[in-house]
């Protein structure tokens, strides 16, 4: 079992920045990939960004050029740097880790962007 703890969410004005962190209880170098999803109340989770064990990254079209995912293997932490935030980025953001056939989720962190 892998525990994931997100932090870094909050309230920010449009155009501002936030950095989300996802700390894992196990070595992230053993994960096939890790990343972030977002979810609005009553809606399905939507993919935001992913980073593979080899360091390749992938982003949703809506965040390309504004968000950057990265990782620090020594700290077992994955980050999501979010710049030029828009009100439509408001959601709960969830970190995930995929290893073998299992997917693990964090508890989520609220991001609210005011106009």
Give tens-digit pLDDT for 91-102: 999 999 999 999
Two structure tokens written together for 107:
């508890």
Give the C-alpha separation, 109 to 53, whole Å.
24
- Mean pLDDT along residues 24-40: 95
What is the rounded average pLDDT for all residues in the chain? 97
Residue 21: band (very low, low, confident or very high) from pLDDT cuts 50, 70, 90: very high
CA 99 and chain centroid, separation? 16
Residues β-bridged to residue 76: none
Give the C-alpha separation, 26 to 40, whole Å.
28
Give the C-alpha separation, 37 to 69, whole Å.
12
Give the C-alpha separation, 16 to 74, whole Å.
28
């Amino acid at each position: 079992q892998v525990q994931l703890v997100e932090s870094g969410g909050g309230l920010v004005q449009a155009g501002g920045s936030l950095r989300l962190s996802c700390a894992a209880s196990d070595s992230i170098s053993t994960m096939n990939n890790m990343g972030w999803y977002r979810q609005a109340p009553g809606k399905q989770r939507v993919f935001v960004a992913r980073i593979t064990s080899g360091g390749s990254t992938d982003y949703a079209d809506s965040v390309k050029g504004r968000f950057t995912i990265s990782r620090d293997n020594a700290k077992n932490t994955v980050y999501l740097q979010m710049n030029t935030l828009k009100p439509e980025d408001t959601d709960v953001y969830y970190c995930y880790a995929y290893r073998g056939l299992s997917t693990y989720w964090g508890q989520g962190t609220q991001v609210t962007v005011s106009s």
